[in-house]
Amino acid sequence: MMDYRRASKKLSYYLRHCEEPRYISLDGGWADIDVIIRALKEKLPWMNREILGEIVEQDEKGRYSISPDGLKIRANQGHSIEGVVIKMKQVDSPPEYLYHGTAQRSLDSILKDGLRSMSRNYVHISTDYATAVKVGSCHGKPVVLQFRAADFVRDGYKLYISDNGVWQAEFVPPEYLSVLYDDSETYNGTN
């Protein structure tokens, strides 16, 4: 039975996090499609180029890109391998506000130290509240932070957007963040 969700998770791991063997190049994060298919076939014997194409096409978040020549594939963002450079567009005029979804257990640390990329190369930021809630829910009880993106850029920080529309920054200081949603009893409403 073909489990596309499982295949997508394995593909994401190979293209974002797998250090040994490393399937991707540091420059652009591209991997040879035939090599990735062979690696996926070890756990998913039904994998082929057509199915890989369907996974890329059907991915609702647009996580993957296939090169124009059809020979390479990459994850558009979310890498944890140090040194991977994905060219992104630097944005000089972002929306006034963007959003970040996280788990309630991370709130105190974020309000003290800001948003850090942790195991990834960049902090991921959402364009809308609903997406931020969904992201936060993946990590536990959700919290949504409002990020003053326009002020952040005006103050000289850099903000990027990936090919699939994910906003990213290397770091967001706490003074640009405010709690928009937290239904936990432990949060006292100050920041």
Q: What is the DSSP string of 122-143?
A: SEEEBSSHHHHHHHHHHTSSEE
**Predicted local confidence at residue 184, as pLDDT:** 60
**Predicted local confidence at residue 55, as pLDDT:** 93
**Predicted local confidence at residue 162, as pLDDT:** 86
10-residue stretch averages of pLDDT, the chain, 191 residues long:
86 90 87 95 94 91 90 88 82 96 92 89 90 85 94 97 89 96 54 40
Residue for token digits 């405010």? Answer: 178
**Predicted local confidence at residue 39, as pLDDT:** 95
**CA-to-CA distance for 102 and 123, rounded, in angstroms?**
11
**CA-to-CA distance for 48 and 31, rounded, in angstroms?**
15
